[in-house]
Amino acid sequence: MAEITAAAVKELRERSGAGMMDCKKALSENGGDMEAAVDWLRTKGLAAAAKKSSRTAAEGLVGVAVAGTKGAAVEVNSETDFVAKNDQFQAFVREVTQVALSVGDDVEAIKTAAMPSGTTVGDVLTHNIATIGENQSIRRAKRLEVAQGAIVPYVHNAASAGLGKIGVLVALESDAGADVLEPLGKQIAMHIAAAFPLALDENGLDQDVLERERQIATEKAAESGKPAEIIAKMVDGSVKKFAKENALLSQLFVMDNKTPIADVVAKAGKDAGTTIVLKDYVRFQLGEGIEKEESDFAAEVAATAGISK
C-alpha cells in the first residue's frame, strides 16, 4: 500500500474542499493516486463543500451551554431554516458549543479543536457541508466566566434543548445561592432577549454608534431654528437618552417598565443579604448583521434548465 503523506492529504483537501479524514480515506482507497482520489470524493458527494462556500448562510442556530461557572454561546449558520431542523446539524451545534466552553471565543481556535469523535471541528464542518448539501459556517462565539456565582442561560423560542434563534447568557458574580441567582439571571436574560441592549453600561457603548446618534440629533435639532446653545443642549440630551436606553444596566426592566436593571440586581442582593454583580452578558440573535441574498426561485429553475427568461 502506498504511503499516504500529510502533504498529499493537504493537497487533496485544498483541491476538493473535503474533510481531512475523507481525503485520507480517498487516497488510501486509491493507492495514493491524487486524480483517482478526487474522482472518488466526487462520487461520494464529498468534494462539493468548497463550491458551496460562496453561498450566503444566514439561517441556522444559536447554541448556549453552561458548565459550572463558565458559559458559552455560539452561532452556526446554514443557508436555510430547513437545515436548522436537521438532527446532524443540531448535534454539531451542541458539540461546537461544548468545545467553545473549553477553547473560548476564537472561531479559528474552535475549528482546529477536537470534537468528542477526535476529528477537528473544521473537518466535521466541511463533511457536514458536503453531506447535508448546504453552506454552513461557525460565525461567532463568546465565553463568559465568573470566579464565584452563576452563568445563567436562556434560549428564546428554543428549537431544542440549548438551541434556538436568540441565545442569551448572564454572568452574575456573587456568593448567593443558586436559588437566588438562577431566577434572577433568567429574568434578566429574558429582558436582554426582548430589549436588545448594545452594551453592559454606557461606557461600553461603541463610540461610532454614539457619534452617529449625535449627527442624527444635530440634524433634527437644527430644523428647530433655535439658538446654537439651545441646539447643543438638545443634542446632548438626545445622545444621553440614547445611551441610557441602550445600556443594559440603565434600561428599564421589561417586567415593570420602570425599574432600571441595576436597581433590580441591587434589590435582589439586598433581599439575599449579599452583593450581586451583573458582570457581563451575551446576546446572540441568529443572522443579525448578515445581508441575505434575495433569490428569484423561478429564475434559478430556469437557469438550471438552461432556459433564458
- pLDDT (tens digit per residue) in 58-91: 689 999 999 999 999 999 998 888 888 889 999 9
Task: Give the Cα separation of 130 and 77 in Å (integer).
Answer: 15
CB proximity list for 237: less than 8 A, separation 6 or greater = none
Q: What does the pLDDT read at residue 294? A: 46
Query: The pTM is what?
Result: 0.74
- Domain 6-47, architecture per CATH: Orthogonal Bundle (1.10)
> Domain ranges in the chain?
6-47, 57-145, 206-246
Q: In the chain, at which residue ranges do the beta strands (DSSP E only) sit?
A: 59-67, 70-78, 136-145, 149-156, 163-164, 166-174, 276-285
Q: What does the pLDDT read at residue 51? A: 46
Q: Is 147 left (phi over 0), alpha (psi -120 to 50) or beta?
A: alpha
CATH number for 57-145 (one of 3.90.1170.40, 3.30.479.20, 3.40.50.300, 3.20.20.70): it is 3.30.479.20
CB proximity list for 265: less than 8 A, separation 6 or greater = 172, 184, 188, 249, 276, 277, 278
Average pLDDT, whole number, for the chain? 86
pLDDT tens string, the chain, 309 residues long: the values are 568 888 888 888 777 767 778 888 889 989 888 888 887 876 666 655 444 444 445 689 999 999 999 999 999 998 888 888 889 999 999 999 999 999 999 999 999 999 988 999 999 999 888 888 888 999 999 999 999 999 999 999 888 899 999 999 999 999 999 999 999 999 999 999 999 999 999 999 999 989 988 888 888 888 888 888 888 899 899 999 999 999 999 999 999 999 999 999 999 999 999 999 999 999 999 988 765 544 444 444 444 344 444
**Percent over 70 (pLDDT), the chain:** 87
